[in-house]
Amino acid sequence: MESLAREIRGFSRSRLRPQRTRVTALSGRTVIETWRGACLQQEEAGALPGGGFVRDLSADLQVGVVKPWLLLGSQDAAHDLETMRRHKVTHVLNVAYGVQNIFLDDFIYKTIPILDLPETDIASYFPECFEFIEKAKTQDGVVLVHCNAGVSRAAAVVTGFLMNSEGLSFAKAFSLVKIARPAACPNPGFMEQLRKYQEQTVKANGSINDHD
C-alpha cells in the first residue's frame, strides 16, 4: 500500500520518544519492548549476558462488546480459538502491522496493516474498514476488530465507525468504546483525527445523534 510505504519512509523516531525496555525471559530469550503511545511492540534482541526480568506472559483475552455484533480486542484474543468461539466471532478485521491471521478456515478475515504512529493518517483507512464491518453486520455475523494490544488502532477504527454509522459525536462514540474496553486509548494523533472526523460526519449527516 503506497500510503503505508510513505508513512514508513517519513517515520521519525526522534519525534516519538518511545519508551524501550529490554526483557529477558527465564529461557534466555531477550526482546526489546517499545511503548509507542499506548501500544506495545516487540523485537527480538537475541540472548545477551546480564540480568533482566521475566515479562508478564499472561494473554489479554478481554474482549470489549461494543455492539452484540461488534467486538474490540487484542491479537491475543484473535489468536485464542476458545475466546473467538465463545464470542461467536465470524469475521475478523486485523488492523495491526505484522500480526498474522491463524484460523483461516474458521473465520472471514480482512487485514489492513496500519502503523501505530501519531502521524499515520488513520482516517484514510476508515472507508475500507467500515465496509468490512458493515458487510459482517449485513451477513448477521460478529466481527472482531483488533490490532496488537487492542488499545490504539483498533479502538480508533471502532470509534470512527460508530461516529460514521450512527452519527455520534467523538465524545459519545469514544465513551461507548471505553465502556466496552476500558484499556482503549488511541495515540494523540489518532485522537485529534477523530475529533476532526466529527466535523466531517456533521457535514454529511447534518447533526449529531447522541441519543441514549
- The maximal CA–CA distance of the chain, rounded, in angstroms, is 62
51 by Cβ neighbours in 10 Å (0-12 / 13-18 / 19+) ranks as exposed
Residue 50 confidence (pLDDT): 40
Q: For residue 18, give the DSSP letter.
A: -
| Residues carrying CATH 3.90.190.10, the chain | 64-205
Cβ contact 122:156 at 8 Å: yes
Question: In what helix (H) or strand (E) does residue 65 lie, and over which residues does it extend?
Answer: strand 64-67
Residue 187 confidence (pLDDT): 96
pLDDT digits (tens, 9 = 90+) for 33-90: 555 544 555 555 443 344 444 444 577 899 999 999 999 999 999 999 999 999 999 9
Q: What is the CA radius of gyration of the chain?
A: 18
Q: Is 188 helix (H, G, I), strand (E, B) or coil?
A: helix
Cβ contact 6:120 at 8 Å: no
Give pLDDT < 70 ranges for the chain.
Answer: 1-57, 204-207, 211-212
Which CATH number applies to 64-205? 3.90.190.10
Of 104, 155, 203, 7, nearest to 92 (Cα)? 104
0.75 surpassed by pTM = no
Give catalytic residues, as residue numbers.
Answer: 147
Residue 210 confidence (pLDDT): 73
106 Cβ partners below 8 Å, 6+ apart?
A: 81, 84
